[in-house]
């Protein structure tokens, strides 16, 4: 769904409106993360899943009918990113709350990796549509029909998911939580739910109590999300990008293919140490982003696509590490809302960088990417030295404010 906007705008949008639409998309994603993230804590993970997929499918239909209108492109692509922003909190919270501690990292890593697989699929098919059909209207319609099919397939799959038992317990629905636990685990003896009192604290108290965690994750979030969106989706639209707008499908394809395949290399490590996986990924991302700038200046396409692939391997490692930390370091009652708040931080800054970068040149964007990777690396080193190693610790343990005890 996120890849729809850059692919669609390449096919139909005038170049002059692209920076503004991308900036609006990012701001909408942030609003969705805040609003739907909070609603997920109030009304449940599954209801937000259903709402977000309905909005995405409706937006695709709207684009199918009105894609020739610049206003419709701006509105419907932004509605898609609004929905995507809201999915972060609900999906990460659900995965953390349903998965055993020793497998939580792997589960989140492999689940979020389907973002990359979806982007690879839609980019590959778009490249095929462009080569197979000379008529842009046919290219657009096939792209949107494909996107709608994927959205409906994902929506139907989500209907099979259970609600989070921890969320149910926290909201006084213990009988339903017990039925779900028995269904999943086949456990027949008596079940006792003992959520710590920290599970039910409010968002303001959670931010106050876990401020150090929040600040570190906020910096890393800005680093990873913005570098991913610029490098994997928006850079072909920048003036003086050596390979031009015609490379947009290939950039999305190779970057997300690197992310998808790279995720599997992190599987053995992520549940052993969150600190090592996070720090090593940000260091690798910084080094390879420098080579991306060099490859663009040299106009060397082979070097650029190789380094893009490798850079996105490290970005996926960083994204996975961040996703797990966001999901496990905050209480159940505020988990989705905090994740949404963290994701939302990229909105204004990311929109500004993309808007002015696309008005400037590709070199400016690559320098911004390098600076963001460096900022994220500094934050991860601080966490490596002072933070908690959360791998293999249960959610209830991590919800307690026992940082000093665990470090000692």
Cα atoms found within 13 Å of the Cα of residue 76, Cβ hemisphere only = 26
Q: For residue range 124-147, list pLDDT tens digits in order.
A: 999 999 999 999 899 999 999 999
Tell me: pLDDT of 402 over 70. no
Domain ranges for the chain, please list them: 4-407
pLDDT of residue 405: 43
Which one has a higher pLDDT value, 154 or 121?
Answer: 121
- The highest-level CATH class for domain 4-407 is mainly alpha
pLDDT digits (tens, 9 = 90+) for 80-127: 999 999 888 888 888 888 888 788 888 888 888 888 898 999 999 999
pLDDT in tens, 24-51: 999 999 999 999 988 988 888 888 888 9
Please tell me the pTM assigned to this model: 0.81
């Amino acid at each position: 769904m996120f890849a729809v906007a850059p692919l669609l705008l390449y096919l139909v949008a005038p170049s002059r409106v692209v920076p503004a639409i991308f900036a609006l998309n990012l701001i909408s994603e942030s609003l969705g993360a805040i609003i739907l993230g909070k609603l997920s804590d109030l009304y449940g993970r599954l209801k937000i899943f259903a709402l977000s997929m309905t909005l995405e499918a409706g937006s695709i239909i709207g684009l199918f009918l009105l894609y020739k209108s610049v206003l419709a492109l701006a509105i419907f692509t932004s509605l898609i990113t609004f929905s995507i922003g809201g999915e972060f909190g609900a999906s990460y919270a659900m995965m953390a709350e349903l998965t055993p501690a020793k497998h939580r990292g792997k589960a989140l890593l492999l689940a979020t990796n389907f973002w990359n697989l979806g982007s690879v699929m839609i980019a590959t098919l778009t490249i095929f549509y462009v080569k197979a059909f000379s008529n842009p209207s046919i290219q657009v319609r096939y792209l949107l029909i494909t996107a709608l099919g994927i959205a409906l397939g994902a929506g139907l799959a989500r209907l099979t998911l259970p609600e989070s038992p921890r969320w149910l317990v926290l909201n006084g629905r213990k009988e339903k939580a017990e039925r779900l636990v028995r269904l999943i685990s086949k456990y027949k003896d008596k079940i006792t739910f003992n959520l710590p009192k920290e599970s039910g604290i409010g968002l303001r108290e959670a931010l106050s109590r876990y401020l150090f965690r929040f600040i570190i994750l906020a910096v890393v979030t800005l680093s990873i999300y913005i570098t991913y969106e610029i490098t994997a989706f928006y850079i072909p639209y920048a003036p003086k990008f050596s390979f031009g707008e015609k490379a947009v499908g290939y950039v999305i394809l190779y970057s997300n293919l690197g992310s998808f395949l790279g995720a599997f290399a992190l599987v053995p490590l992520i549940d052993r140490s969150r600190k090592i996986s996070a720090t090593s990924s940000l260091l690798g991302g910084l080094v390879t982003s420098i080579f991306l700038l060099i490859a663009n200046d040299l106009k060397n396409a082979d070097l650029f696509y190789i380094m893009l692939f490798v850079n996105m391997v490290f970005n996926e490692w960083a994204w996975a590490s961040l996703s797990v930390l966001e999901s496990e370091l905050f209480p159940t009652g505020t988990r989705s809302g905090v994740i949404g708040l963290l994701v939302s931080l990229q909105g204004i800054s990311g929109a500004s960088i993309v808007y002015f970068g696309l008005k400037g040149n590709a070199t400016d964007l690559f320098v911004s990417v390098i600076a963001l990777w460096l900022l994220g690396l500094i934050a991860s080193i601080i966490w490596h030295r002072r933070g908690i190693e959360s791998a293999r610790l249960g959610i209830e343990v991590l919800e307690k404010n026992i940082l000093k005890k665990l470090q000692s």
